[in-house]
Structure 1
Amino acid sequence: MLAQQYVTFNQELSYVASTDIEILTAIFEPHINLTCWQRSLAPSLLEYVAQINAKGVDIARSLPLNELATALSRWLPEGAGKVAFIQDIEQLAQMLDCLFDNPDIGVRLKTLSQAMCPKFHTDKVVCRLVCSYSVTGTQWLENGDANRAKLGRASQGKSDETSGLYAADSDVFSAGVGDVLLLKGDAWPDNEGLGVIHRSPAINPNDKRLVLTLDLM
């Protein structure tokens, strides 16, 4: 269970990252719109992820937290590491419930062969948990590095790299495999127009990226 305490962080940044799980609680700070718990996954779990990606999976359901493990056991293929993988997802869902007292979740687990949301954007949600189990993780921009006036249709069809949304490639931050992100959206109280700016990373055609998202319901 996460303790309700905050980790020390730079007051000038809109995101925080740490190998300490407590970093996730910083999402409640008004000026923070993304928290990243950096972690490594066990080799046995990664081997099962490879098995999933070989077959492909596309799960999108809403259900009570206490039904999640049973449902995943039914939906996912058999294989070594399956139990550990389900336990990992259940732990992340329990953390979300612990932080927000929200026992009902929307879960999406999908194998991707291309970027699902390739352009930078914000989400009309309160808060979303994202974890990539293979290839690479979600990308985001620091508030101070982004020109929100260039988001969406305001980009006039230009790519993120040429629209003026950000100045340099070094402005783009990326999560690693296994990292757990909490993304504050535009529907967070008093956060309209300030949700974290993020996108799916580009991946090679032969790669398979397994992505988990958990939403508050």
Structure 2
Amino acid sequence: MMTTTTAEEREELASPRAATASSTRIVTELADLAELAAPEVSVCVLRRGVDPDVDGFVREWLLPRPISEALRVDPGAPDLAALAAGAPSSPGREAFLHDVRGLISLFADLTGCPRVGVRLARLAKPMCPRLHADMVTVRLVTTYVGPGTEWAEHADVRRDRLGHRANGVPDEVSGVLRAGARLRRMDPFDVGLLKGEAWPGSQDRGAVHRSPPGTSPRVVMTLDALA
């Protein structure tokens, strides 16, 4: 079940600045993820409601375990057994694998890639704590449990202060964000598509994002387009 945008998001997206300069699209329909193709867009987020069966399985089986899996799969017939290895058969297990298969199929349809890289991890600390842009074409990210990925508008970022270029100074004081800028955060089960620097025409425009701060445990899946 899809959720609607918040009143804050509706106001922002309706503003003159958003209409002319926003690098983000927040959508509630699968078909609208195609907006990622617009040259000015670097982040497209599909708002999704929490699936109680998937949520229950992830919390009961994946969250308590040190999960770290990386797979290369055929999107037409992905072998995902390793993502739920050892888990007893249950509606929650099947719902989780069905959700992952659906996201792989969606991602392959959007990108046209013949293979998909799947990463599933249980994290207890930020994997990528600094704002950065990835050297990929596009990456899909969804957080099943815990705080989601944070991102910034393209116009709000000083790219010469991203990542290691800030010389170890935290994002909050490095000046990487322009005055008045704020980070946005995905909710659990949201599907985020993040353009990378390797997307055609996106050099110096790749999605600027980071892992959320703190030590709240998270279960995160990412998909990458492979040749």
Given the two structures, how large is their TM-score scaled by the length of structure 2?
0.85
Instruction: Tell me by how many angstroms 1:76 deviates.
Output: 5.9
User: What aligned pairs does 1:1-217 form with structure 2 within 5 A after superposition?
Assistant: 10-50=19-59, 51-72=61-82, 75=85, 77-78=87-88, 80=90, 81-167=92-178, 171-204=182-215, 207-217=216-226
Between the aligned partners of 1:169 and 1:161, the Cα distance in structure 2 is: 12
Greater displacement, 53-62 / 114-123: 53-62
Q: Is the 8 A contact 2:151 2:207 kept in 1?
A: yes
Residue identity (%) = 31
- Specify the code of the residue in structure 2 equivalent to 1:75: A
CA distance in 2, matches of 1:184, 1:150: 19
Distance 1:215 1:76, change over 3 A: farther
Measured against aligned partners, the alpha-carbon deviations of 1:78-118 in whole angstroms (never above 9, x if no partner) come to 35300000000110110111112223100000000011100
- Structure 1 window deviating more from structure 2 (137-146 vs 73-82): it is 73-82
- In structure 1, distance between residues paired with 2:181 and 2:206: 21
Aligned-partner Cα distance in 2 for 1:161–1:79? 45
Kindly indicate whether the alpha-carbon contact (under 8 Å) linking 1:34 and 1:181 is maintained by their aligned counterparts in 2.
yes
SS of match in other structure, 1:10 = helix
Q: Secondary structure at the match of 2:57?
A: helix
Give the aligned CA root-mean-square deviation in angstroms: 2.0
Q: Which segments of 5 or more consecutive residues in structure 2 lack a partner in the other structure?
A: 1-13
| Aligned-partner residue type, residue 171 of structure 2 | D
In structure 1, give the amino acid aligned to 2:193.
L
Alpha carbons of 1:86 and 1:48: their partners in 2 closer, same or farther (altered >3 Å)? same
Query: Given the two structures, how large is their TM-score scaled by the length of structure 1?
Result: 0.89
Aligned residues: 208
Single out whichever of 35-44 and 16-25 deviates more from structure 2: 16-25
Runs of 4+ in 1 over 6 A off after TM superposition: none
Give the partner amino acid of 1:22: A
- Aligned residues of 1:48 and 1:79 also touching (Cα < 8 A): no
Q: Give the whole-Å Cα distance in 2 for the aligned partners of 1:82 and 1:121.
A: 34
CA distance in 2, matches of 1:191, 1:99: 17
The answer for the alignment partner of 1:5 in structure 2 is none
